[in-house]
């Protein structure tokens, strides 16, 4: 009985060794086959070794179909190369053979659906920007190829719709966004809109006729004024909530004085004024002389801590549609204000990426 068991054991060992031998030889044969085939395509020994090291075995046939191309080595040599995206690189490269390999890899690595767009340094730079929105890519490329501005500005202008031309669209403001409701040269409020929670600023907090703000904004405003006072900075409201009818009279007065084109650079058309939201305030001096004062500088550095943003910053006129207004601050809440301040963006840019895109 023991002898029979021993024989069976020996037989099983022999079968196992034979199976391993066949498996090893088959794999060796396969490796030898791909080596030879790649050499026949024109790749050197070192290139073949490099390819087999960087490409998954399941993609070997794809390499053979690809044929000899030095760009294959360049793709595999990139520090940004991702083995899992090998076929995507090759497919996109085949459509863009004259393009920079690094641009091709950057575009594919972005994971955006861009197969139908030609590879370019502009596209590669755009996809690396934080506020890139894939749905806007065609407009990004159109604007970027026709204007000498940096990539961040291209994205800011397009995301804000400014590339379409101010007042070219008339869209209802999304009141559901609450403190983040956008009112600008594209988004407007109805002529009868008035916030239901307006409260009046009084005492040290106000020196203007238009003294009302929405309650949450008013509370934050008073906290900001109190904090500034501790730093020997005196702040106060000069103009907050303004009704639609009030804006009609104001805007018409500016047109009569300066003409419509000039008025549109510093005054909102009725329904398009942010003051109608009850979420903003013109502080202290509504004049360019406010710029550079201790009060203006304190606001720039600290307003975001209380949920306010400088609404129409210098250098962003082509995004907001308004000239720089160092006195105009808008309440958006602590979280949004922090992002807008730290990333140096406008409410338009924030809204497009965090609200409208969703």
Annotated catalytic sites, by residue? 325
Q: Beta 198-200 vs 280-283: how paired, if at all?
A: unpaired
d(CA 251, CA 268): 7
d(CA 203, CA 41): 85
Give 125-161 as a 3 state SS string.
HHCCCCCCCHHHHHHHHHHHHHCCCCHHHHHHHHHCC
281's enclosing H/E stretch is: strand 280-283
32's enclosing H/E stretch is: helix 2-41
Q: Beta 187-188 vs 328-331: how paired, if at all?
A: unpaired
Q: How many helices (H) and strands (E) does the chain have?
A: 16, 9
Q: Output DSSP code: residue 321.
A: S
Three-state DSSP class for residue 120:
coil
């Amino acid at each position: 009985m023991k002898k029979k068991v021993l024989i069976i054991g020996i037989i099983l060992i022999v079968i196992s060794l034979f199976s391993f031998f066949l498996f090893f030889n088959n794999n060796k044969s396969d490796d030898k086959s791909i080596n030879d085939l790649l050499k026949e395509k024109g790749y050197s020994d070192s290139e073949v070794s490099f390819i087999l090291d960087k490409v998954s075995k399941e993609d070997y046939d794809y390499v053979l179909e690809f044929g000899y191309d030095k760009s294959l080595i360049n793709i595999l040599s990139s520090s940004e190369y991702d083995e899992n995206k090998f076929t995507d690189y090759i497919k996109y490269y085949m459509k863009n053979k004259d393009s920079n390999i690094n641009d091709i890899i950057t575009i594919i690595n972005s994971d955006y659906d861009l197969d139908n767009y030609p590879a370019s340094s502009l596209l590669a730079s755009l996809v690396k920007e934080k506020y890139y929105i894939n749905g806007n890519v065609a407009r990004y490329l159109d604007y970027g190829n026709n204007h000498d501005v940096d990539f961040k500005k291209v994205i800011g202008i397009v995301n804000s719709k400014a590339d379409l031309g101010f007042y070219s669209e008339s869209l209802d403001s999304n009141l559901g966004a609450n403190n983040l409701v956008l009112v600008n040269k594209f988004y407007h409020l109805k002529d009868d809109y008035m916030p239901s929670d307006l409260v009046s600023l009084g005492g040290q907090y106000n020196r203007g006729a238009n003294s009302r703000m929405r309650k949450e904004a008013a509370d934050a405003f008073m906290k900001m004024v109190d904090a500034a006072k501790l730093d020997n900075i005196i702040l106060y409201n000069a103009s907050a909530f303004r009704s639609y009818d009030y804006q009609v009279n104001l805007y018409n007065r500016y047109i009569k004085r300066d003409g419509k084109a000039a008025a549109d650079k510093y005054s909102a058309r009725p329904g398009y004024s942010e003051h109608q939201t009850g979420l903003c305030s013109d502080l202290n001096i509504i004049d360019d002389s406010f710029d550079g004062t201790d009060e203006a500088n304190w606001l720039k550095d600290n307003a975001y801590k209380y949920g306010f943003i400088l609404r129409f910053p210098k250098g962003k006129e082509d995004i907001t549609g308004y000239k720089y207004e160092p006195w105009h601050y808008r309440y958006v809440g602590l979280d949004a204000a922090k992002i807008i301040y730290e990333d140096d963006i406008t409410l338009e840019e924030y809204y497009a990426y965090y609200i409208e895109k969703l």
